[in-house]
Structures are given as C-alpha cells and as structure tokens.
Structure 1
Amino acid sequence: MLRSLRRKILTPDIAETRLEKRGFRVKDAISKELLETIGETFLSGFAYAVEARRPGEAEERLEQVPARFRGFAYEGAGMGFAILDCLTFGDLRRTREFLGGRGLHHNYMIYVGIGWAMARLPRFLWPSDARLDPLLLWLVHDGYGFHQAYFHTRRYVHEQAHETRFRWPAGQDRYAARAVDQGVGRALWFVGGTDVDRVTSLIESFPEPRRADLYSGTGLAATYAGGATEAELLELRERAGRYAPQLAQGSIFAAEARIRAGLLAPHTEQAVQVLCGTTAQHAAEVSHETRPSAPAAGGAPAYETRPSAAADGAPAYEVWRQRIADRFHSFGGVTP
C-alpha cells in the first residue's frame, strides 16, 4: 500500500501529455496518437520505477512494453529512480543499480530520464555528477531541456529562454547551455506535432548560434520517435540546409540507441536513410567508431580532434558529436 501511495503521489497526471492540454500542434490523428502514446508510456515507466521494491522488479514490467515504445518507458523509469534517489539522498543508488541491469542497454534513455528528474527537483537535491559517466552525463542536460520546452513551452520555445547559468557540472556552464538546447530541439518535434513546416519554423525563429544544436535534437526525435513520412523527412533535410550534418548527427544517435537496445523499427531505418544517406546499422557503426574511449583530465577528449573543438574547450561528448557530423555531406551521404 505504501508503494502504491508513493506511485500515486509522485506520478504526473496523464492528462499533462495530451497535445491539446499542452497547446501543441496537431498535424493529424495518427501523429497525435503516436505522441500521446509516447507520453503515456513514459509515465508508465515512471510509475513502474517508483512502485518497485527494487530495479529488477521494474525491469520485468518494462520488458513487456511494445518494442516501439519500450525505450520511452525506460526513460520514464530513469526519471522515477532518480527522483527516489534524490528525495532520499540515495546518491543515485537505485539509478546506478538500474543501469547495471537491463537498463545498460537503455543507458542513453535513462540518462535523459535523470535530466527530467532534475527539472522537477530543487537544485540542492540534484545528484553529484561524480556518480555518472563523464561522457554521457550531457544527456542529462538533454533531458532537462526537453522537459522545460515540453512543460514550459511559452518560456523555453516562444520566449526562447536560454539556460546560460546551468551550473552542473561545476565550471561547465558554457557547454551545458548547448546540451540543454539539444533537448529543446528534441522537444520541438513534439511541440510542432511532427509537422516539419511548424518544427523548422520554430527552430528558425531562434538566434542563429542556437540552431545547430536545435536541429541535432530534432533529428534525434524524428528518428527515434518517428511520425514523419519519407516526403516529410526529405523536406526536413532540405529545410535544415547548412545544419543538415547536425540533423544527421542526432539521427545517428537515435539509431545507435535503438540498435543498442534491440529496438530497431522501420520508421528509424527510414529516417536514417533519408537524413543520413545510409543504413541504421552503418550509422550505429559510425557512432561507435567516433566515440572517445574516455575523457582525459579536464574533460578533454582522449584522442586528437578538430582544432575548433579543442580550442573551444568542448568536452569529449561535443567532440564526438562533431566527428559524427563531419562524416556527412551537407545533405546526408556518409563520407568514407
């Protein structure tokens, strides 16, 4: 009964995921159902986590979620375990146990879920970054940015609020703002209801220096969540213009996340073909080939990289993203 009460108290109202409630664009009935199912599945995963005695119990329920939506359930569970850990000063104990089990195959989504938790918690309860992978911790910012754009759309999308003082981890405010924008860009796919004209118009309304990260997030969402036809994806690629490599980079991250979890779906394969000019499997291989082995001291990448990235003081995660983008021509096509 106590765990059931905990679930009831902590789980957000499912009505909050309805497009009309959020004021998001409704392109058609199919895309509306898709986006709302994603929201419902996320909340189901959250509820499984906060009601579970231990992560393994939640995993059994998460594995029953249909493959197309299972990653979103793991993302919600990541938020749930992080919320419990932070509220009980658990030092991410449950979350790290979750990442050590079946969650290992969904680690990207779970890290994003931690960012959702941080968006809901006062800063004094935020977890220490020392407990997280120094390469992947930027996905936490992605999750935070998605949450803010999804639930505080007026401020973060229409008024274009910019998290320039996101002091986590310490001393990384400059890149943290960019990583948050990647999450905002992912949320724009939902805010725009998968309507390419609406989504790209929103991106183009932002200051030019922010658009590369926004397009990266949009490419990830269009590929992982889906909701666009081949013709619409072609339009998205054309509208991205000079940011097509960043769009492709986000698409590649999505392909790797789905393949890593064994959840590759036809809509992901199609999106990668259009946005990247290659197969999802090859896209995942590109991600693996360019991934740093480990960050060096001070967050620098553990391999030689583009001078522009090094001079900018970018963390290894950003260098990874740049290397992927560099493998693609302006309209897709992977380079040898």
Structure 2
Amino acid sequence: METVGRSFLEGYGHAVGTRTVAELEHCLAGVPERFRGFAYEGAAMGATVLDAIPGTGGRRLAALLSGQGRHHVYMAYVGIGWALARLPRPLWPDIGRTDPLIRWLILDGYGFHQAYFHTDRYVRDQRPSTGLGWPWGPAGYLQNAVDQGIGRAVWFVAGTDPDLAATLIEKFPHQRRPDLFSGTGLAAAYACGARADELEQLAHRAGPYRPQLLQGVAFAAEARELAGLTVEQNRLAVRTLTGLEPKEAALVCRRTRPQGPATGDDYERWRRAIADEITSRGERQNP
C-alpha cells in the first residue's frame, strides 16, 4: 500500500515536472506494471492542477488523455477527482468534455480523496457529501458515485483487512452499502494486498451486497486489462472473487457497456448489468 502511494506521487511529480506529454509518458512507462495505473492516476491529478495555473496553456490533461492515458482512462478520471477535491470550483476542468458514461469515476476519485484525508468525517462518522454541485448528470446519483470512491478508500483505511473493511461499511446506512462494497471490491482486485482466504472472507462479509462487490472486481479487471497491466496478484483476486479470469471479467464489462450516446442513468444500468452477469456466471460455476 505504501508503494501505491509513492507511485501516485511519482506520477503527479512527472506530470508537473516534465516539459512535454511525450516525456511524461516515457517517465510513466518506467513505473512497474503493478503500480503504473496509480502513477497515471497521480499524473491526471497533476495535469489537472497544472492546467488550472494561469499561463500554462491548460492543455496537459487533454494531451495525456488523448495519448497513452486513453488506455488508463479509468484511473485517470479518478485522478481528476482528486484534483477537484483540491482546486476551487472556478478552476475545475471542463467536465463536459469527458466521456459522459464514465465521468462518474471523477466523483469516485473525489470520494476516495475525502475518505482518505478526512477519514473520521467520511468513514467513521459516515457524513454524506453536500454542496459539491454536479451539473453533468442526475444530481440524485452524486452520493452513489462518491460512495463508490469512499468504498475504495475503505480498503486502504482498513489496511486490506477484509473484516475491518466490512465492519466499517456495516456502520453506514443500508442504502449506501451497495456502492461502498462495489468500491471495496474494485480496490481489492486492482490494488490487491490480500490472500485468497482473506478475499473469500470479504465475499462472505459482503452478504447481500456481493453482486455489487463483484461488479467492482469486474471494473478492476477491465481497468487492468485495458491498460495491459494485469499481474498475478490481480489474477488471484479476480479468480477468487468471481471464478473468472481477468480477461473474462473485463469482457463482461465491454459486452454490457451501453452503445450510443450515454444518458444520465446509463452508468448505473451498466453497473447493474455487470453485477447480474458476473454473479450469475459465478453461481453456475460454483453451484
């Protein structure tokens, strides 16, 4: 987990310290595969912050996302959310230019930041997010997206201890737990840090929220596969939790992804379709 944090900071530093995106991409390519996604997450935050400074041209993030960053779009969008948590609202990037289906991951990143740096307020006291404002989709879904990021942060706050992670989530109101377990599943399969028996315990503790946990695992598989960064630790996590290989779980995400222009509710419908298929396939393989 410490290496995850260092890799994030390394990516941030490269984003603000290099002269060109080509140089930035060269630096990021030197980060080990297991941690390179976190470096891209940090780089997206750094690029967003850099673009907000007058006189910089405001084009570093767009260039990153149109280059090698397009393969790391899941983590990059999360990194933009980190920047939103640090920048005053007038300096936010133009969210309207992001992919309308997955731009909710930006709020996921915002939620992770808040839970990680304000743990007592957002995790232990279960405070909801208020006053953020989000004109790029249904306002009623804002807390859901933020909770998905809080759930990811819980995996880190709990030190990858599945029992502690589940105990923290169980203190939240019932209606928030599906998104929280989804985020925890994503972190458990993307960042890893747990043995197979510990992952099995996480699935057990998820109980009725296991479909959402597995949806998060599938998202992790897709993010890793899209970037070409799947390593053995990811394979162990995805196999243990879903009974599928990462390529198979990623294919579920791609096959169920809505086609055509995205509407405000498509993201949640997509997540539910993933959860339904991953869960049913796992039940068929483990009757």
Higher-RCO chain (CA-CA 8 Å, sequence separation at least 6): 2
Change (3 A) 1:258 1:171: closer
Please state how far the C-alpha of 1:84 moved relative to its aligned partner: 1.0
Please state how far the C-alpha of 1:93 moved relative to its aligned partner: 2.1
Contact 1:115/1:140, CA 8 A, preserved across alignment: yes
Tell me the residue number matched to 1:322: 272
Equivalent positions of 1:174-189 (< 5 A) are 174-189=140-155
Q: Distance in 2 between matches of 1:281 and 1:249?
A: 14
Cα deviation digits, residues 134-190 of structure 1 (max 9, x gap): 111101001000000011111111111111443123563211111010000000000
Q: Distance in 2 between matches of 1:216 and 1:91?
A: 37
Q: Distance in 2 between matches of 1:171 and 1:260?
A: 25
The RMSD of aligned alpha carbons is 1.8
Contact 1:103/1:110, CA 8 A, preserved across alignment: yes
Please state how far the C-alpha of 1:334 moved relative to its aligned partner: 6.5
1:79 aligns to 2:29 (yes or no): no
Letter of the aligned partner of 1:229 in structure 2?
Answer: R
Please state how far the C-alpha of 1:123 moved relative to its aligned partner: 1.5
Please state how far the C-alpha of 1:92 moved relative to its aligned partner: 5.5
Change (3 A) 1:90 1:173: farther
TM-score (norm 1): 0.81
Q: Distance in 2 between matches of 1:323 and 1:261?
A: 23
Q: Distance in 2 between matches of 1:115 and 1:74?
A: 13
Q: Distance in 2 between matches of 1:91 and 1:318?
A: 35
Give the match's secondary structure for 1:162: coil
Number of corresponding residues: 285
Contact 2:212/2:275, CA 8 A, preserved across alignment: yes
Please state how far the C-alpha of 1:267 moved relative to its aligned partner: 1.4
Q: Which has the larger displacement, 273-282 or 76-85?
A: 273-282
Q: Distance in 1 between matches of 2:245 and 2:5?
A: 28
1:226 aligns to 2:176 (yes or no): no
Letter of the aligned partner of 2:107 in structure 1?
Answer: H
Q: Distance in 2 between matches of 1:197 and 1:169?
A: 37
The structure number with the bigger radius of gyration is 1
Tell me the residue number matched to 1:70: 36
Q: Distance in 1 between matches of 2:275 and 2:76?
A: 24
Contact 1:146/1:187, CA 8 A, preserved across alignment: yes
Q: Where in structure 2 are there 5+ consecutive unaligned residues?
A: none
Cα deviation digits, residues 79-126 of structure 1 (max 9, x gap): 000111123387852111101111111111111100000001111212
1:129 aligns to 2:79 (yes or no): no
Q: Choose the corresponding residue for 2:20, options 54, 63, 88.
A: 54
Cα deviation digits, residues 35-94 of structure 1 (max 9, x gap): 111001100000000011122111100000011101000100000001111233878521
Q: Choose the corresponding residue for 2:9, options 43, 50, 63.
A: 43
Equivalent positions of 1:203-282 (< 5 A) are 203-282=169-248
Q: Distance in 2 between matches of 1:161 and 1:76?
A: 26
Please state how far the C-alpha of 1:330 moved relative to its aligned partner: 7.4
Contact 1:45/1:77, CA 8 A, preserved across alignment: yes
Tell me the residue number matched to 1:160: 126
Please state how far the C-alpha of 1:129 moved relative to its aligned partner: 1.9
Give the match's secondary structure for 2:52: helix
Letter of the aligned partner of 2:177 in structure 1?
Answer: R
Tell me the residue number matched to 1:13: none
TM-score (norm 2): 0.95
Contact 2:252/2:278, CA 8 A, preserved across alignment: no
1:149 aligns to 2:120 (yes or no): no
